[in-house]
Amino acid sequence: MKSKLFFFLLIIYAMFSNYSAQENNETLQTLIQKAVEVSPKLKMLEAKKNASEARVSVNSNLPDPTLTLGLMNLPTNSFSFTQEPMTGKMIGLSQAVPYPGKLGAAENVLNKDAEITQEEIDDAKNEIINNIKQAYYDLSFARSALSIAEKSKSNLERISAVVRTKYTVSEASQQNLIQADVELTKIKDKIAELEGKVSSSLSTLNSYLLQNRDTQIETENLSAINSVVLNINELNKTAKQNRPFLKGIELEKNKSELMENLADYEYYPNFNFSVQYSQRDKITATNTPLNDFVSFVVGLNLPINYGGKKSAKVQESRIMQKMYANQYDAALQVLNKNFGEALSKIDELKEREKLNSEGLFPQAQQSLKSAMANYQVGKTDFINVLDAQNKVYETETNLYKIRMQYYKQLAQLEFLVGKSLTK
């Protein structure tokens, strides 16, 4: 009797000593840094920004001057340069000059494109960080769930061994043996499912790192939730200050204001300055030398608003300002909705994590210990032992699932506000 009791106590100790924290390994920050470094999307956006910066010089400087060469008033009867006094050789140089301030206004508009692209880059970085965190937490949970399932399998195997021992001495029924085998088969099926989830999550995470799908990545165990105090007003304020997407909309609105300023210059003339030099030869018939000519010419276009084409540019820029203002308000409206939903979910998960970690899981462990002890002395049915074991498995798995959902929700919230919300 004492040897059997010792055997049961040994089983119970082995069952609960396995519930320990996983050793910390590769940090999440390392994975994020690598994903940002190798991201093709970020490289594409960097190239887009460089192109925008190069476009400033292309479109904000004076056009090239024009060199003119010509022959003037050449007589068609002889094509001689010395027959007529009006015949000469001409060289000229002209330069188009926009109205003062127009090039600077164009430069201001073009500079905004590079600033807008920089906000795209920052938002894309935040999106990558969010994607990595989502995949990382999925992988970490899948591994934790797999580990818990494997521990449950080991426990069921030990319980099954006890039942077989009791069956040999007619202290357990064949039905008990069948029930134990059924539970073992069910947990093996769950393990196979979780192994598939681990492989899938690992493949997803490796895709963000441009690595082979089977490349191993170590993960840390999902730790207990560290409560973060959040409220919707602070989230809105933080998003306005930090979310690159919102900053990009504001820059688009600023750009349209600068475009209105540039469009106003369409009502002012552009200039063309030119100088010409004419060289004349001596007249052969009279042996008379002739003086050379130099000419200075200033031209300007007449900014006539044919068909309202110039006023239409101004109107277009004003409409765009209203459009971006409405887009900004619409984005805030969507964010406010997302913040409300996220905060409700986070509060729910924090409460559930507390209930599971401080109540359900310890209670399930205690229930299993009690069921095992009572089964040993014949005070409870075998089905109660299996039920208690399943409760331990379910509550611990659910505890890690709650933590995974919390950290994923927090990561999504950090992406929406554009800033980390944890110290």
Q: How far apart are CA 381 and CA 383, in angstroms?
A: 5
Has residue 235 got a pLDDT over 60? yes
Q: Average pLDDT for residues 338-353, to the nearest whole number?
A: 95
Average pLDDT of the chain to the nearest whole number: 89
- Position 176 confidence tier, pLDDT thresholds 50, 70, 90: confident
Q: What is the pLDDT of residue 377?
A: 75
Q: How far apart are CA 196 and CA 207, in angstroms?
A: 17
- Position 2 confidence tier, pLDDT thresholds 50, 70, 90: very low
Q: What is the pLDDT of residue 14?
A: 44
pLDDT in tens, 359-393: 999 999 999 999 888 877 777 787 888 899 999 99
Has residue 423 got a pLDDT over 80? no
Q: What is the pTM of this model?
A: 0.84
Tokens coding 347: 């509060």
Has residue 226 got a pLDDT over 60? yes
Q: Average pLDDT for residues 267-293, to the nearest whole number?
A: 90
Q: At what angle do helices 244-264 and 309-355 cross, to 10 degrees?
A: 170
Q: What is the pLDDT of residue 13?
A: 42
Has residue 9 got a pLDDT over 60? no
Has residue 84 got a pLDDT over 70? yes
- State the DSSP string of 143-189: HHHHHHHHHHHHHHHHHHHHHHHHHHTTSS-HHHHHHHHHHHHHHHH
Judge whether 4 and 376 are in contact, CB under 8 Å.
yes
Q: What is the pLDDT of residue 371?
A: 87
The four Cα atoms 357, 358, 362, 364 give a dihedral, to 10 degrees, of -80
Q: How far apart are CA 221 and CA 21, in angstroms?
A: 7
Tokens coding 79: 């094509």
- What is the amino acid identity at position 419? K
